[in-house]
Amino acid sequence: MNTWLVIVAAGLGSYLFRLGMIILTGRITMPPYLERASGLVVPAAFAALAAAGVAAACTGLGVTQAAAPLAAVAAAVIAVLRTGSSQAAILAGMPVLWVATALLSN
């Protein structure tokens, strides 16, 4: 299965999820635990993808240089906590990444 087929398969499956209960309405009921679980999937997925993304950015770098992405994440966390805005993560994190990468690569 290549990239295109993966995206088509994921898209088709997602559409069936969307259409499923419209067709089956009244015929089946969803168990409550599954509904609770579905509310936790996106936070868990975001956390897992973020952790893997940061780890990937640090992979292959020396101990000193790996501090740049970690400093960017720290700046992002502080910025979001201080401002209460999720968008602040990129606005604070990327400049810190650029500056730290420039400083640490010298």
Partner 1 sequence: MISLRADRRDVVAGARAMVPWLAGLVPFGLVIGVSAAQADIPALAGWLTGPLIYSGSAQAATIGMLDAGAAPAVVVASALIINIRLIFYSATVARHWQGTPWWWRLVASYLIVDPSVAVGLSGYRRLSRDRAHAYYLGGAVLLWVCWLAAIGVGATVGAGLPAALHLEFVMPLYLVGQTIPKLADPAQRRAIFAAAAAALLALAAPLQLGIALAIAVGVTAGLTAEVRR
Q: What residue ranges bind partner 1 (CB under 8 A)?
A: 1-15, 17-23, 25-26, 30, 33-57, 69, 72-73, 76-77, 80-81, 84-90, 93-94, 97-98, 101
Name, in order, each residue with C-beta under 8 angstroms of 61's C-beta and a sequence gap of 6 or more.
Answer: 68, 69
Q: Least Å distance between CB 106 and partner 1?
A: 14
Q: Least Å distance between CB 74 and partner 1?
A: 10
User: Distance between CA 75 and CA 33 in Å, rounded?
Assistant: 36
Q: Least Å distance between CB 102 and partner 1?
A: 9
Per DSSP, the residues of 8-22 read: HHHHHHHHHHHHHHH
